[in-house]
Amino acid sequence: MFGTGLLKGLGVTLKHFTETFIDDRRKEPSRYEGSIQVDEKRRIIHQPISQEGLLTIQYPEERRLLPERFRYIPMLIWDTEAGEDRCTACGICAKVCPPQCIWIVRDSDENGKPITRPAEFYIDVAVCMSCSFCAEFCPFDAIKMNHDYELAVYDRYPQLVYDKEELTVPVEYYAALWPTQYAAEEAQRAKQKEEERRREEEKKRAAEAKAQAQAAGAESGAAKPKRSKEELEALKAQAAAKAAARKGGAETEDAEAAAKRARLEELKRKAAEKAAQRKKESGE
Ligand code: SF4
Ligand code: SF4
**Helices and strands: H and E segment counts in the chain:** 7, 10
132 alpha carbon to ligand 2 midpoint, in Å? 5
Angle at 85 between CA 198 and CA 68, to 5 degrees: 85
Mutating to test ligand 1, I would choose from 73, 75, 90 the residue with most ligand atoms within 8 A of its C-beta, which is: 90
- The reply to whether CATH 3.30.70.3270 applies to domain 74-177 is yes
- pLDDT over 60 at 123, yes or no: yes
- pLDDT over 90 at 201, yes or no: yes
Least confident segment among 47-51, 63-67, 74-78: 47-51
Mean pLDDT, residues 134-142 taken together? 97
Mutating to test ligand 2, I would choose from 71, 92, 96, 97 the residue with most ligand atoms within 8 A of its C-beta, which is: 97
The HSE-up count of residue 158 (CA atoms within 13 Å, CB side) is 4
140 alpha carbon to ligand 1 midpoint, in Å? 7
Residue 223 — very low, low, confident or very high, per pLDDT cuts 50/70/90?
low
Query: pLDDT value at position 262?
Result: 84
Peptide bond into 67 cis (omega under 30): no
- pLDDT over 60 at 284, yes or no: no
Task: Report the distance separating Cα 68 and Cα 50, nearest Å.
Answer: 21
- For the chain, give the number of residues: 284
The domain spans of the chain are 8-64, 74-177, 179-210
- pLDDT over 70 at 233, yes or no: yes
51 alpha carbon to ligand 1 midpoint, in Å? 43
Query: pLDDT value at position 104?
Result: 98
Query: 104: Cβ below 6 Å to ligand 1?
Result: yes
Query: 91: Cβ below 6 Å to ligand 1?
Result: yes
Query: 97: Cβ below 6 Å to ligand 1?
Result: no
Mean pLDDT, residues 79-99 taken together? 97
1 alpha carbon to ligand 1 midpoint, in Å? 60
Query: pLDDT value at position 232?
Result: 86
107 alpha carbon to ligand 2 midpoint, in Å? 22
Mean pLDDT, residues 145-154 taken together? 93
Query: pLDDT value at position 144?
Result: 98
